[in-house]
Chain A
Amino acid sequence: MKILKYIIFIYLLVSVNYLSAQEENLQNKITKNLRCLICQGQSVYDSDSEFANSLKIIVKQKLSEGKSEKQIYNFLEDKYGKWILYDPEFSKNTYFLWILPIFLFVIGGVLILKLFIIKKN
């Protein structure tokens, strides 16, 4: 019986550790996708500025309140605008940004097809 108690205790300990590690991973993932607005070219995760440190606390708080990743992004976008997100969403302002690489890729493909494959035949 005593052994069973120990096993349950160890199991709980391990699972709690696992849960908090998961939350920390999510926190790191979110702060890596946030731009530190007062730094040059750094994410909130990388920066140690006052602004970034406060944002880290906010993200941690929101996660422990049970907010999802998307809700946190929406909250910060409402406060600071789209610029705070490194990964911009697809909208009428950003469609050119998203479509251009695909467009270039297709042009490249057509070029290769035209120059090498069709010529050979």
Chain B
Amino acid sequence: MKNKIFPTFLVFFFLSIFFIFFKGLQNSNIYIPNTNLEKNIPSFIAKLFDSDDNISSEEIFKENKFYLMNIWASWCVPCREEHSFLMNLSNEKNIEIIGFNYKDNNAKAKSFLSELDNPYNLIISDKDGTLSIEWGAYGVPESFLIYNNKIIKKIIGPIDKDLFFEIKELIQ
């Protein structure tokens, strides 16, 4: 009887390990970051896109309204897809759209805006991408919905129809 306890335990132990790993096989191995965090926005000083002046985050997000911080670049193809939604949002009264021009060439960024129109109230340039890291961003395009100096929604990738209506509902 005593001799049987150990092998039984062993079989049970390996079976449970097998079960854990087998369950793990079904999980997606693509990392999905938490996008509904209520985080404070980082404070920073950045260069404006169309002049050499600097601006601080306190000056940008000072009013009591919604802000959509959108990271974009002229070389980014999905940015073209979401542009019409941004144009549509820029007509809304209680939201301001702040553009983060990510690792871009100024002349090309300007021709991008003159081709597709400019939805941004203000554009900041992020030449080496370090500012986006401060925000915890992964790349372009990416958007942050901000209210009261807090990030209330983080959108990784282009804004699509569903997300557009979700933002519209949130800012009402």
Contacts and interface: CB of A to CB of B under 8 A. Distances in A.
Contact of B129 (A50, A80, A83): A50
Contacts of A107: 10, 13
A26 interface: no
B128 interface: yes
Contacts of B133: 54-55, 58, 79
Nearest to B136: A79
B6 to A, nearest CB: 7
Interface string B133-145: 1111011000000
A109 interface: no
Interface size class of A (residues with CB under 8 A): 10 to 19
Nearest to B13: A107
Nearest to A35: B31
B6 A114 contact: yes
Interface in B136-172: 136, 138-139
* Residue among A38, A50, A79 with the highest chain B CB neighbour number at 10 A: A50
Interface residues of B, number: 18
B130 A80 contact: no
Nearest to A103: B13
Contacts of A55: 133
Nearest to B75: A50
Nearest to B129: A54
B31 A83 contact: yes
Contacts of B128: 54, 57
Contacts of A79: 133-136
B34 interface: yes
Interface of B: 6, 10, 13, 31, 33-34, 102-103, 128-130, 132-136, 138-139
